[in-house]
């Protein structure tokens, strides 16, 4: 049986690239889900909540289709670092991450109609100590501005990272092994 085409409920170009790289047949449907999170929600719970909302919103428009949604947050000291709101915000995030280890959490949800499964992935990332000049140059590149935690590990941001423990694609924005496991529950195989 040939796999059906799934819906990716995400505007992230990185998620699209990851799914394309493993040969997944999909189309994009950007979800208009509410992305507010109750105050005090731990980052590892927030990503699951947001992934499930995005998935449900897209599935409501195409209930017969398999929908995949995800949400990624960078967290340090229990505080989520979303996408920076300004170059100054990006620089402040990078200073906070400099020389330290942080977590990257991604919540993944898969749904068809009312049936849903979901989980989350955590990857530990260790930054090397950054100089002010390096932070300024990286922010000036524009790369940090649309990325959680103000860096992209798959681009110039790789120069900031000393090491990772866990799933590399998770840091990019979509844990592929977890996503494949969840999709398999709906009969969609990626390998």
> Has residue 77 been placed in a domain?
yes
Residue 1 reports pLDDT greater than 50: no
Please compute the mean of the pLDDT values over residues 93-104 and round it to a whole number.
Answer: 98
76 forms bridges with which residues in the sheet?
Answer: 79
> Has residue 90 been placed in a domain?
yes
> Has residue 120 been placed in a domain?
yes
> Has residue 84 been placed in a domain?
yes
Residue 4 reports pLDDT greater than 90: no
- Model pLDDT, residue 166: 97
Active-site residue numbers?
A: 71
User: What does the pLDDT look like over 127-177, one tens digit per residue?
Assistant: 999 999 999 999 999 999 989 999 999 999 999 999 999 999 999 999 999
Please compute the mean of the pLDDT values over residues 104-120 and round it to a whole number.
Answer: 97
DSSP string of 19-50, one letter each residue:
HHHTT--EEE----------TT--HHHHHHHH
- Model pLDDT, residue 2: 61
> Has residue 103 been placed in a domain?
yes
109 closest CA partner among 12, 191, 182: 182
> Has residue 11 been placed in a domain?
yes
> Has residue 190 been placed in a domain?
no
Predicted structure pTM score: 0.94
Q: Write the CATH number for 68.
A: 3.90.950.10
Look at phi and psi of residue 168 and say left if phi exceeds 0, alpha if psi is from -120 to 50, else beta.
alpha
Total domains, the chain: 1
User: What does the pLDDT look like over 74-88, one tens digit per residue?
Assistant: 999 999 998 999 999
Please compute the mean of the pLDDT values over residues 41-69 and round it to a whole number.
Answer: 96
> CB atoms < 10 A from the CB of 187, how many?
11
> Has residue 150 been placed in a domain?
yes
Domain residues for the domain of 123 are: 6-184
């Amino acid at each position: 049986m040939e796999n059906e085409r799934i819906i990716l409920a995400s505007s992230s170009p990185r998620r699209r690239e990851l799914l394309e790289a493993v040969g997944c047949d999909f189309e994009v449907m950007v979800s208009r889900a509410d992305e507010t999170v109750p105050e005090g929600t731990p980052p590892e719970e927030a990503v699951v909540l947001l992934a499930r909302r995005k998935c449900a919103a897209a599935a409501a428009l195409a209930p017969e289709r398999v929908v995949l949604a995800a949400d990624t947050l960078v967290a340090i000291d229990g505080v989520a670092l979303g996408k920076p709101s300004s170059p100054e915000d990006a620089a402040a995030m990078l200073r906070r991450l400099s020389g330290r280890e942080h977590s990257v959490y991604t919540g993944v949800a898969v749904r068809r109609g009312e049936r849903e499964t979901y989980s989350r992935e955590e990857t530990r990332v260790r930054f090397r100590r950054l100089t002010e000049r390096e932070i300024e140059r990286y922010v000036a590149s524009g790369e940090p501005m649309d990325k959680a935690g103000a860096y992209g590990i798959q681009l110039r941001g790789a120069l900031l990272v000393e090491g990772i423990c866990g799933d590399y694609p998770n840091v990019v924005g979509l844990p592929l092994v977890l996503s494949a496991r969840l999709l398999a529950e709906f009969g969609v195989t990626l390998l």
